[in-house]
Structure 1
Amino acid sequence: MATVKTTTGEEVAKIAEEIYQKLKGKGGIKRVYCLACGGSKASCYLLENFLQTESKTIFAQSYSANEFVYDTPKGLDGQSVAFAMSMGGSTKETMDAARVAKEHGATVVTLSITPDAAIAKIGDHHVVYSDESTLGFEAINQALLLRFGFEFLRLQEGYEFYDQAVDGYKKLPGLCERVVKLVAARAKRFGVEHKDEPVIYTMTSGPASYAAYMECICMFMEMEWVHSSSIHSGEFFHGPFEVTDQDTPFVMMLGDGPTRPLDERALKFLQRYGKKITVIDAKELGVNTMDGHVTGYYGAILIWIAALEYAKGLAEAKEHPLFMRRYMGKVEY
């Protein structure tokens, strides 16, 4: 099997430069829309969160692709950049959303794991990313999208911590490999201890929210058929904490960004009133080898890499392969 050449960080920087120069005369990049479904949509959150937090001039929002088609935002225009991502490159809803963005004059960047994907024909630029479960960590989609955020902010506003962000980008693959080894035994133990649980909640805040959401809807619900819900740490005390007891399992993800105190507060409550608590902590995973101004974003990726291993451990213990389906691709929907 031939090795697929994935897009590099340097190539992302060139694409970002081309997009910015194209829109500079119109007043620059005004809006960034991320269009995808399921895990692909969740993977867009780092870009969205980064621009929402760090940029003064670029509005960013993620859309479930079909919602974007049926309820298209009025702000979509020639100063917009739309990222349309589909792992296999043929998700109908995402392809339709990319076409809508194109029709409204937006610059469209498509992303998939293959260079000749159907969706690539729609975009102005195509990015090939690696699937972290099979192809390694050199070009995972979350990191490539985050790199676009760094580049856009550098070009349009001047990003104060750009050098630190690029340095973290270079360190990321090695740290991801380290995480897999670090949590291997824990992931197996998690699987054995949780294989018969009917429900598992995930919780975090900030950039790591995408990891909790993906673990919930993609890993536990889609792949392992386990009931789950992703809870925001800040919202935990405004309703969800009432389900806490000695029998209800939580996967608590502690990020390393400004919202970490929200996660620590929720964890403290769980440790007092709960029992089945699994903690995934970005600090323990090694994110502090990077500059503190970017650890919130990269820590979220390391948390996801760890969470994926926990899902694999659960699949092994349940003897339920991650890619076994009842409905997806099997029935009409």
Structure 2
Amino acid sequence: MSGSKGLDWYNETEIDKMHMLAACSEGNIELVKEFIERGVNVEEFDDDGVTALQIAAARGHTKLTEFLLSQDADLEFCNVVGYTPLLHACREGHIEVVKLLIQRGAKLDVTTFTGASPLTLACAGGHFELVKYLLTFKDMVDINPKSTMISPSPLMAAALKNQPVIASCLVSRGARTDYVMPNYSLDIISCVVMCSTATMFSTLLDLGARIEGIRNYKNSNIDDLVNLCQKHDMWRVLVDHKRQHKRLTQKSLDIRQVILEGHVVELADLLRHPEKWTKLDGGETPLMYAVIFGQIECVKF
């Protein structure tokens, strides 16, 4: 609390309230009970609109949360930036508290004042088990929100926080890799280039993110954006992705190029499917080229 009103404004009730909120932060149920018995309202809040239940949820104090709910604490009361107890718990990854709040009727379709949903906050925090739990509520959790105000979508939040496992899970459940933030005309792949890692960039490409016609505030294509952001590691990923894409879209591959570059896994696939590569002339064989190019792993294969 700010204490901007000066020392004289404090009274015993106000001091008890502050001490009760501090006890909530510590998870001290007995002390919280004592203050409530002394007349402190369970709905009291500090200068930021933070209640006892919000504090208990944010700190992961499950038993204290249960006690406060038994005292009819408001499930949906939010602080000055729109965080309800459920949103606090999702941000911090306290899955048992989240389960308890939902069982008691907490709304899952709530967002912060910036538009962050429970799922978005869990994704941003890297809380994989919580993300999987929230996704079980298919009808109440919007994986591709039509409007997020200034908040990213769940997949965008996971990508920005370099959470490839969560991103893969979201895409498997229907999250769109071409999602664009409505208010900013900014897509996921552009956000990752500007703010995340080469690993996350590679993961999104593997998950099917398109690099054609990307949307960003500079109206840059993918090559220009990667260069502009000086992401040299992403450039290598991009070049390799384009090369692989070109190969996959060709009607017939030159197996000699695959051997020259030492792509053993791709070579194995081609040898299992002879129809995918152009037959060599004059009795030449893939093994001959593996020896000529000095690709020992290909020779062994």
TM-score, normalised to structure 2, is 0.24
Which is greater in Rg?
A: 2
TM-score, normalised to structure 1, is 0.22
Higher relative contact order (CA 8 A, sep 6+): 1
Q: Which one has the bigger strand percentage?
A: 1
